[in-house]
Amino acid sequence: MWYNNILETIGNTPLVKLNKITKEIPATILAKIESTNPGNSIKDRMAVKMIEDAEKAGLLKPGGTIIEGTSGNTGMGLAMAAVIKGYKCIFTTTDKQSKEKFDALRAFGAEVIVCPTNVEPEDPRSYYSVSSRLVRETPNSWKPNQYDNLSNTQAHYEQTGPEIWEQTEGKVTHLVVGVGTGGTICGAGKFLKEKNPNIKVWGIDSYGSVFKKYKETGIFDKDEIYPYVTEGIGEDFLPGNVDFDIIDYFEKVTDKDAALMTREIALQEGIFVGNSAGAAVAGVLQLKDQLKEDDVVVIVFHDHGSRYMGKMFNEDWLKEMGYLD
């Protein structure tokens, strides 16, 4: 048996039990290893879904240019699909993302434009604004807009949620996901809650992001917003894919705890994953008192550790940040 192209290998990622790092938690803790996707992240799923839905709707035409703001992983999925389907790609990103991510996007023939992190989303220099301007200026172009494009959530409703349900034989009691665009947690969460309304969906958030306070108070507090290091989770606005009714609770994790836990996952479990996985495991450890012996917790491990070699897996960087003595 063979696949007709690399896009057919996306999905059906393994579910792996964590043993050492979570030993103080009474529950069974399982990790959904999304780094086994061909683009090494969960974003492959929704990138292809957004493209296919845009093609069906006539928004993306042959020979077109895909223009998107990305922290790296969505861009990778889009770029990979663009190679197979014959599109060009231009990506805007922020200067807080790791250099490895930019180089990987360029390896697929994409043009990468790096924008400042520390500006408002409305600022003309922000990676949101620059991508929107480029769409207006580029003929035959399309912006997926992963934050508000509901094909993102739908991909995880159709794929990730059902996979988790089948792999746990319906025994899953908690889904834990770092929340960025909201597509993963809300798509998979919606499917799982339809199967069993008692399943708890926990979102992992960063300090400097607005999600937790908004969920708990309904207030969008601009004073909560400040730059932070953790990549791929948290936001300074409310994406259309974040359905706060599906997410039961948000737990915030510090940059330091997320970075150091990312390293511990490799050291203790032999699983080489990215920054959002570290944040998610740290969050579950903070919430361990809420878990019982017969609980089955699934944590999504979004991407691969190779994207963070200049950061979490670099001791000089860790010392510079004050995370290591």
- By annotation, the residues acting in catalysis are 43
Q: Contact at 8 Å (CB) between 141 and 64?
A: yes
List the structure tokens of 9: 């290998």
